[in-house]
A and B are shown apart, each in its own frame.
Chain A
């Protein structure tokens, strides 16, 4: 009688099960690691925005041109705040498996983001005539507006990706990290504007 050496002994099976369970426990902890990673990324972004913001005070102090379009800037600030609450509601909806609401709020957030970008385009067109990039204020203005607009565009791309994935049935109450990550990034874009807006328009 020959012994089948390929067959696993019961103890080996138990060991395999343990490894399997451990692997799945690791996956369960993954969102926590992801969150820490995202926060580290956000902190690194704070330094980037901080450098650009300090450049404004270093080069021109709190000096600002009289021609700034205050009304448009206020409207854009409100638009971005509205987009933040709709992004929050999109995340909350998917956390509770309300896919239809998630899609509606994500589409609304994207629309608000596009409106914001349209307003920024108008501002940039006006700024090119009133305080061109070569002037001290113009340089810091275009640096800050450009950096922030770039983040809005990347946020919109992220929102479009989660929208498409959500429409295909991805994400749910137990797996919404993708949505959470993009929405957190969108809130960071809003947070950055909370500081950029008074820096450029109000001080």
Chain B
């Protein structure tokens, strides 16, 4: 493996790690906000839907790579 290839790999690893950490932070913030919305509202069913959808999409997209299923080069 060439030094150039190693550098490319290192950059790709850093990029992938950063993407995962940002997704996890977003999930953490959404979970805490979701909790506070739920305990402060009388009937929070519809107010919580955006949180559930956003968290679900972050997991499906960032962690489970669902979009890769539809890409030719994956």
Assess whether A82 is interfacial by the CB under 8 Å rule.
yes
Do B24 and A82 touch (CB < 8 A)? yes
Do A202 and B38 touch (CB < 8 A)? yes
- Docked pose: A32 CA to B71 CA in angstroms: 11
Assess whether A100 is interfacial by the CB under 8 Å rule.
no
Do B56 and A81 touch (CB < 8 A)? no
- Docked pose: A36 CA to B69 CA in angstroms: 7
Residues of A within 8 A of B28 (CB): 78, 81
Residues of B within 8 A of A188 (CB): 64
CB distance from A104 to the nearest CB of B (A): 13
Q: From A5-13, A85-93, A141-149, give the one contacting chain B.
A: A85-93
Residues of A within 8 A of B27 (CB): 81, 84
Write out, one digit per residue, whether chain B residues 8-27 have a CB within 8 A of any chain A CB (1) or not (0). Answer: 01001100110011011001
- The interface on chain B, measured as residues whose beta carbon lies within 8 A of the other chain's beta carbons, has a size of 34
- Docked pose: A17 CA to B40 CA in angstroms: 70
Do A92 and B17 touch (CB < 8 A)? yes
- Docked pose: A190 CA to B63 CA in angstroms: 10
Write out, one digit per residue, whether chain A residues 72-102 have a CB within 8 A of any chain B CB (1) or not (0). Answer: 0010011001101101110011011010000
Do B35 and A74 touch (CB < 8 A)? yes
Given A81-B27, A195-B56, A88–B69 Cβ distance below 8 Å?
no
Known: A70-B39, A85-B24, A195-B52. 16 other contacts (CB 8 A): A32-B74, A74-B35, A82-B24, A84-B59, A85-B21, A85-B23, A87-B63, A88-B23, A98-B13, A184-B64, A188-B64, A190-B59, A194-B52, A195-B56, A198-B38, A203-B45
Chain A interface (Cβ < 8 Å from any Cβ of B): 32, 35-36, 39, 62, 70, 74, 77-78, 81-82, 84-85, 87-89, 92-93, 95-96, 98, 184, 187-188, 190-191, 194-195, 198, 201-203
